[in-house]
Chain A
Amino acid sequence: MNNITGKAWVFGDDINTDLIYPQICYTLPEAEKPFHAMEANRPGWATLVEAGDIIIGGKNFGTGSSRPAADNLKKLGISCIIAESVNGLFLRNAVNTGIMAIEASGVHDAVDEGDTITVDLENCKITDMVNKRSVAFMGLPPFLMEIIENGGIINVLRAKGLLGKPL
């Protein structure tokens, strides 16, 4: 997988799934859902996101429900989520929808909002290209990277012939 580069948006601790994917999203048309991300804690933010942007979070990013919060960020154009810690269920949902979610201790203070960030996947290093600060991270296990590289678990299951006709 290639390195990821994008502009940073910095969020705090405990950004939860209900902020990322508010209840009303469930019944909205697919194209509208992403624009409701973070509307309760950061109104208007979703409209400012450009394709490839990166989210920097604090502790326990994505805590809460099993709703497709990671998928909503992916569809908004976010290329990668990097946080002090990532909630286990959110991490699973991120991998399964094909978006990188990385835990990197110290990243929240190292990165300034608006700076361009590079994620070096081979050397497991995140660098703020403006202030030049870097932090290391622990890579995901290979079997999870493989799911991400395939664009998510649905693609993996489809390739194995395990999915059926629409209901």
Chain B
Amino acid sequence: MNIVEKILLNHSTEPVKTISPGDIATVGVDRAIIVDMAALHPEFVDNPPLRPFDPDKVSLVFDHYVPAPSIEIANRVNRLRKLVSRWGIRDFFDTGRGGISHVLGGELGWFKPGSLIANTDSHTIATGAFNTLGRGLGTPELMNIIATGKTWFMVGETLKAELSGSIRNGSSAKDVFFHIASVTGDIPGKNIEFAGTGIKTLGMDERSAISTMCAELSAEFAVFPVDDILRNYMDSAGVGDYRAIAPDRDAEYFDEIHIDMESVEPMVAMPDRIINNVKPVSELGRVNVDVAVVGSCANGRLSDIRDVAEVLRGKKINRNVRLTVTPASRKVYMEAERLGYLSTIIEANGLVTNPTCGACLGGHMGVVGDGDTVISSTTRNFKGRMGSSRASIYIASARTVAISALYGYIKGDLNE
């Protein structure tokens, strides 16, 4: 069995000896994460589960609308807060305390290698960087999981992605993902397992950016193996009690791709979708931008904020560009502040916001208008995603966003 099949088998609630594609796996989850968006689902706040299967395995994280941008949302999330005492939830992260659940969970050691995480949000696949299966499941399914501790998966085939080399100067993990996307296209219902010598050159931020973005391939799970980098990360998070999962020697994959990371130059996804819609920035031609955004579970991490600060140090962004930088978590925010990244960005005329999903979902903290051309390091560029359906959203790495903010048009590092 491959990593996905083995982790599902280890969590099976049925007496099965093996898991293969086509099976329906009934599994118990190690942790269920509810985010503030649940407050906007009437079926949840009107009929919340009576009690959780285990209050210590349920987390409540406010991330999408932090702080509440309207009276309506403020009132709704106030209702959600009542869960904390009603259910006796220990892991509650209100405004100012945590950050984006997919980033916070990694920082707090919730994503233990070999574990299985359920979260309402579609970027839950991010946990794969930690050798953890995570799947966005929607609010009604989370209600079922909280009530019963169990859920199901239709087990899909798995693609093996062999990474070699290291990311070249000026490129980033986001660019590697775009290159992968250009090779695979979308793979709905299927999984990705990463392998190869290139993995050891990737830190947890880079792995997380790649696994997070695999949501855009419509993959079910995207999982990395365990190595010293992950083990050391878990040690520093104070987590030792886990059972890491490696693939069996005879593990089966429906296909195998080889990605030479050395060859990947800065890439960009053009508006409205990522699948079959990416190209090297060097082939884009001139596209002037109005708005530049750095943030999200994919690329609002410390290494992303560092890249932005490196680009902008001692400079001012183009006078026609509005740059918003949103650190992904309180920890990222504090570290970026301590290292001077935030003041560098502020001095360059960038706007630094509090941690939140913010502009990525078009909810607040950078909603875009009709005719705006946007370059963003966020996750998704569906029409209307970040506000107006008449805005054009290009997606790129944090570094490319920063360089574009500086020049006023979309520009990657190798292009200078």
Binary A-proximity of B42-54 (CB < 8 A = 1, otherwise 0)? 1101111111000
For chain A, which range describes its interface: under 10, 10 to 19, 20 to 34, or 35 or more residues?
A: 35 or more
Q: Are B49 and A163 within 8 A (Cβ)?
A: yes
Interface flags, A126-160, vs B, CB<8A=1, else 0: 00000000000000010100000000111011101
Contact indicator A166/B138 (Cβ below 8 Å): no
Q: B382's contact among A16, A93, A156, by CB below 8 Å, is which?
A: A16
Residues of B within 8 A of A14 (CB): 186, 273, 275
CB of A96 within 8 A of CB of B144, answer yes
Known: A63-B188, A164-B49. A154 touches B380 (CB 8 A): no
For window 41-79 of B, CB contacts with A under 8 Å fall at 41-43, 45-51, 70, 72-73, 79
Interface centre among A60, A63, A67, A167 (most CB of B within 10 A): A167
Who on chain A is nearest to B390 by CB?
A40
Residue among B137, B148, B382 making CB contact with A64, cutoff 8 Å: B382
Which of under 10, 10 to 19, 20 to 34, or 35 or more describes the interface residues of B? 35 or more
Interface: A106 (CB within 8 A): no
Residue in A17, A27, A88, A167 whose beta carbon sits within 8 Å of that of B188 in the complex? A88
Are B138 and A92 neighbours in the complex by a CB distance under 8 Å? yes
8 Å CB contact of A87 from B50, B51, B218: B218
Question: A47 on the interface (CB 8 Å rule)?
Answer: no
Is A79 located at the chain interface by the 8 A CB criterion? no
Chain A residues contacting B139 (CB-CB under 8 Å) are: 66, 68
Stretch at the interface among A18-26, A107-115, A117-125: A18-26
- The residues of B that contact A162 with a CB separation of less than 8 Å are 49-50, 147-148
Nearest chain B CB to A114 CB, angstrom units: 25
Is the beta-carbon distance between A89 and B136 smaller than 8 angstroms?
yes
Q: Which residues of A contact B383 (CB under 8 A)?
A: 18-19, 40-41
Using A19-B383, A93-B140, A96-B138 as known contacts, say yes or no to A163 and B273 having CB atoms under 8 A apart: no
Q: Give A25's nearest chain B residue, CB to CB.
A: B40
Task: Please name all residues of chain B whose beta carbon is closer than 8 Å to the beta carbon of A63 when the two chains form the complex.
Answer: 186, 188, 218
Report the minimal beta-carbon distance from B94 to chain A, rounded to whole angstroms. 15
Q: Whole-angstrom distance from the CB of B212 to the nearest CB of chain A?
A: 13
Chain A residues, Cβ within 8 Å of B317: none
**A66 lies within 8 A of B137 (CB):** yes
For A152, the chain B residues whose CB sits under 8 A away are 140
B50, A88: Cβ atoms closer than 8 Å: no
Which residue of chain A lies nearest to B362 when distances are taken between CB atoms in the complex?
A23
* Assembly CA distance A68 to B140 (angstroms): 9
Give Cα A162–Cα B362 distance, bound, in whole angstroms.
Answer: 34
Q: Which residues of A contact B24 (CB under 8 A)?
A: 141, 143
Known: A40-B384, A63-B218, A167-B45. A27 touches B80 (CB 8 A): no
Contact assessment for A164 and B138 in the assembled complex, using a CB-CB cutoff below 8 Å: no
**Cβ–Cβ < 8 Å partners of B205 in chain A:** none
Residues of chain B lying within 8 A (CB to CB) of residue A153 = 140-141, 143-144
Report yes or no: B186 in contact with A66, Cβ–Cβ below 8 A: no
Shortest A81–chain B CB gap in Å is 15
Q: How many whole Å from A24's CB to the nearest CB in chain B?
A: 9
CB of B169 to closest CB in A, whole Å: 33
Closest A-B pairs by Cβ, 5 of them:
A40-B389, A96-B140, A164-B50, A162-B147, A18-B382
Q: Chain B residues in contact with chain A, CB under 8 A? A: 24, 37, 40-43, 45-51, 70, 72-73, 79-80, 82-83, 86, 120-122, 135-141, 143-144, 147-148, 152, 154, 156, 186, 188-189, 218, 220, 273, 275, 361-363, 380, 382-385, 387, 389
Q: What are 16 A-B contacts defined by CB distance under 8 Å?
A: A18-B384, A23-B384, A27-B72, A64-B380, A68-B140, A85-B189, A87-B218, A89-B135, A89-B136, A89-B137, A154-B47, A154-B140, A158-B47, A164-B50, A166-B48, A167-B79
